Structure 1
Amino acid sequence: MKARKKISRRKHEVSTSNLIRHEVIGLRVTVVHSLNDKFIGISGTLIDESRNMFKLKCKDNVIRVIPKEVCIFKFELPDGDSVKVDGRMLNGRAEERIKMKRRKVVWPLIVEKQLKKARFQPEICEVLMFDP
């Protein structure tokens, strides 16, 4: 009999290193920073994802739609870890993001101007930048 190879489940599990290329629906998400103050602090379970938006189901059973482009999210992984991710790294459809190898984030000029107005603190921006 041939010995069976052990299939590693590590590459199929969500971790801090593969979160951007993984399916994120079902994870707990909190908005930790945003250019729009009304989004900060919103948390819930991610139930749907479109090209530019997340749909979160909050504890009060309200579904809120959050734009990816202007927010920094904190994802709680199944193993108990949490990771902050810039929403611009998650822009695009999930099926396209899973296939991608590398994404370069470029600040749009309008966002750059808004950040200067808001006096954006760099210490808040300890976010995961994708590099395989």
Structure 2
Amino acid sequence: MSDPVQFSYVEAFLQKTIPSLNDSKLISMKSTLRNKPIMLVAEKKAKKSKRKPRKRLRMTKRILAKPTNSAYSSYGRLRSLWKEYISNLLDEYMAVKAGGQQNADLKCVQDILLKADYHGADITVADTPCRTMKGISGTVLQETKNIFLICTKDNKLRRIPKSQTIFTFEHPPGYRVTLFGSQFCFKPAHRLTKRFNKNPTLKELLK
């Protein structure tokens, strides 16, 4: 049962805020409000946040530094540094091959190639579903999870998707290395913890 003092206050409040309220309506309203909590102060509605979803916000704030120089000849020093870098990584394997041993550790070489940095590599698109990109060659200037940005020999910047694309590069003395781009669809930093499938099928390499 409600407190008489509290209810008399509510009755006085109604008569004060609604002077034209007659007795019958007052009685009806009193019975409706009995034992019912009343908000005497209007509650402000919370404004809907206009913030963008976090994923979209990250995408809009992401800035990729696109090289402004598209002259192939300008990156000769970069190519030289990369050749020296990849030679140092593969020296041990090349020594084994040069010695004539047949049981070379190809799995070790695969892991090295997967984790290597390809900025500065001179690569060629050997095969791809996109016919217009087949045969393109140039220097890798930027790598993301899904693309290589290369400067071609005709001084153009091209974005080459990794998925379903086969790349090759030459490595002295006379080696041609083939890379299946689908196995490189990781951020460069994340490739350090990845491994090739033990015996991948052609379908797995090209998916």
Quick one: which of 83, 86, 92 aligns to 2:186? 92
Q: 5+ unaligned residues in a row in structure 1: which ranges?
A: 1-8, 113-132
SS in 1 for 2:182: helix
Q: Which residue of the partner structure matches residue 53 of structure 1? A: 147
Equivalent residues of 2:114, 2:191 under 8 A apart = yes
Q: Which residue of the partner structure matches residue 31 of structure 1? A: 125
| Higher RCO, Cα 8 Å, sep 6+ | 1
Seen in structure 2, the aligned counterparts of structure 1 residues 70 and 61 have a Cα distance that, compared at 3 Å, is same
Amino acid in the other structure paired with 2:117: E
Aligned residues: 102
Bigger share in helix: 2
Percent of paired sites with the same residue = 28
TM-score (norm 1): 0.64
Bigger share in strand: 1
In 2, Cα distance between the equivalents of 1:69 and 1:96? 16
C-alpha root-mean-square deviation of aligned residues, in Å?
3.0
Q: Which residue of the partner structure matches residue 128 of structure 1? A: none
Q: 5+ unaligned residues in a row in structure 2: which ranges?
A: 1-84, 92-105
Deviation (angstroms), 1:75? 2.1
In 2, Cα distance between the equivalents of 1:55 and 1:10? 19
2:141 is the alignment partner of 1:44: no
SS in 2 for 1:75: strand
Deviations 1:84-110 (A, max 9, x none): 1111111111110122234586858xx
In 1, Cα distance between the equivalents of 2:173 and 2:139? 16
Equivalent residues of 1:14, 1:78 under 8 A apart = no
TM-score (norm 2): 0.42
In 2, Cα distance between the equivalents of 1:10 and 1:46? 14
Equivalent residues of 2:114, 2:196 under 8 A apart = no
Deviation (angstroms), 1:61? 1.7
Deviation (angstroms), 1:77? 3.3
